[in-house]
């Protein structure tokens, strides 16, 4: 009987201002760059060549490009690495060097060479719903993402922002934890959420404009 698979620790990382490395310059690397750009990380790409899309990000000054092959010293001082070279041996080298330095690494499409996985994500502003199958079935994760995108439509972006404003207001007014919890739990309930979104209310609730 095989040993049970360890459970993953679900987390959302704050990468703003942290040094992150993307090794690879092809279409796979380009697809992985987009989500990293939204985090505000300090990004460097290592690759002799880049796709036109990646070159455009470099031109706009959004990422730094080192036009050469990967060196093990590239990982020094880096918080997170994505290996997306399309070459299994090259990705393994990047992973092994990152692992030796206790640096988080994801080698694309190589679960055995990953400290973390890219989840399938439903993005509604500040609201993110991440789905992972621990690398076992990305196709299933993508199917579930599409189903959840229907269930949680674009209106949830406004709802999330509004609930955040209400929470901040309650905190500024010195409401205790139990009061805040009770009010916010009620406002986030399905009944209230559906009513607010369906009516597109713009009323003021405790001085905060509706979503």
pLDDT in tens, 77-98: 999 999 999 999 999 999 999 9
Tell which residue, 114, 92, 139, 146, has the closest CA to residue 8.
Answer: 114
- Residue 43 tokens read as 């990004």
Strand partners, 131: 120
Query: In this prediction, what percent of the chain has a pLDDT beyond 90?
Result: 62
Q: Name the 3-class secondary structure at 174.
A: coil
The CATH code that applies to domain 119-151 is: 3.30.160
End-to-end CA distance of the chain: 53
pTM as predicted: 0.80
CATH no., domain 19-117: 3.40.50.720
Confidence of residue 19 (pLDDT cuts 50, 70, 90): very high
Q: 113 and 105 in contact (C-beta within 8 Å)?
A: yes
Residue 209 contacts residue 202 (beta carbons within 8 Å): yes
């Amino acid at each position: 009987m095989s040993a049970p698979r360890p459970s993953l620790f679900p987390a959302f990382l704050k990468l703003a201002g942290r040094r992150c490395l993307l090794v690879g310059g092809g279409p796979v690397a380009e697809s992985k760059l987009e989500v990293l750009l939204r985090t505000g990380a300090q990004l460097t790409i290592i690759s002799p060549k880049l796709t036109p899309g990646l070159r455009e990000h470099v031109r706009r000054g959004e990422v730094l490009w080192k036009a050469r092959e990967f060196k093990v010293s590239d990982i020094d001082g880096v918080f997170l690495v994505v290996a997306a070279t399309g070459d299994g041996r090259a990705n393994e080298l990047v992973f092994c060097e990152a692992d030796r330095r206790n640096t988080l690494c994801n080698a694309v499409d190589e679960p055995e060479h990953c400290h973390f996985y890219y989840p399938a994500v439903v993005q509604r502003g500040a609201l993110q719903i991440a789905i992972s199958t621990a690398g076992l079935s990305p196709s299933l994760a993508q199917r579930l993402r599409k189903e959840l995108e229907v269930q949680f439509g674009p209106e949830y972006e406004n709802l999330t922002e509004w609930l955040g404003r209400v929470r901040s207001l309650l905190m500024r007014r010195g409401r205790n934890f139990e009061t805040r919890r009770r009010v916010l739990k009620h406002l986030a309930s399905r009944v209230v959420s559906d009513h607010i979104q369906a009516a597109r209310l713009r009323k003021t609730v405790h001085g905060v404009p509706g979503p």
